[in-house]
Amino acid sequence: MNGAQHTIRFTKMTGAGNDFVLIDEMDQRTPSTDWARLAPFLCDRRFGVGADGVLVLRPSQSLDFVMEYFNADGSSGGMCGNGGRCAASYYILKHHRQQTTFEALGDSYAARTAEEGIILRMKDPVNIQLGKRITVMGESLPIYFVDTGAPHAAAFVDELPDRFRRLIASNGIQEVGGAIRNHDEFKPDGTNVDFIEVEAGRRLSMRTYERGVEAETLACGTGAVACSILGVLLKGLKPPVEIRTRSNQVLRVNFHAKGDRISEVELEGPVRIVFHGDIEHPDQR
């Protein structure tokens, strides 16, 4: 934040349609800012900049930088795969590098440039649960769960009851996704929700309801990883797996699978800077 002008300097970025307001605190000597409080203002698409979340880059004692991520509602969203790729791309471009390592939520991540954007090495997934069933809106649903740095409950659309398939086809995923996100099974923190389809050419398509945004987003990196893992474990796909996101851009997930043991996960996809700007601090309005 520019103390003299009472403005917030930012960079708007997108990773496959998953968009972020990036705040660079690497070189700024500014007073401590409550970004959790400011995130809803910055992410507001009518009165702010507009984004799915806020990325704050700070100096690191051992790596290139620390990334902190806030959901659009100001909550902590866990790891953000596309956000990590955007943060890495920003740092790489700024410092004329080909790769970077950074810290997020106490873990180390490595990223590098690729022909199609940025490749981010992710954490190995944990808590893979196959064959769960939960009751949603009076219907029993088959649900799969994977924690890929953020929690994801996923459903294959062709396994859903006819009523839900019709509802999604006509009205989108908001109602069904919201009901699963807030289900007692996933309390107290809730979960992100992915809806998966297997396309021709053995590629996946996905739609994600993101907690903290409380709506569908155009892409989700940790969700793409979860969907890819489930595609390999349950549908006979082989990594690397391509996933068409709601933005129609493609994410590519590669990993090593040995039984249900998943390791060496990499998330690849497009990243770009949309624009740079300054916005008046809301406390000055």
Q: Which of 43, 80, 86, 227 is catalytic?
A: 80
Sign of the Cα pseudo-torsion (71, 107, 88, 22, in order): positive
Longest dimension (CA), the chain: 59
Q: Which residues contact 88 (CB under 8 A, 6 or more apart)?
A: 100, 102, 109, 111, 118, 120
How far is 34 from 40, CA to CA, in rounded Å?
12
Q: Which amino acid is at 61?
A: Q
43 is catalytic: no
How far is 105 from 103, CA to CA, in rounded Å?
7
In 148-239 the beta strands, taken as DSSP E runs, fall at 151-156, 192-199, 203-210, 215-217
* H helix or E strand, kind and range, residue 2: none
Nearest to 211 by CA among 42, 35, 72: 72
Provide the 10 A C-beta neighbour count for residue 236: 9
The one-character DSSP state at 73 is T
227 is catalytic: no
Provide the 10 A C-beta neighbour count for residue 105: 16
Burial-class residue 184 by CB neighbours within 10 Å (0-12, 13-18, 19+): exposed
Q: Which of 43, 86, 220, 227 is catalytic?
A: 220
Catalytic residue IDs:
80, 220
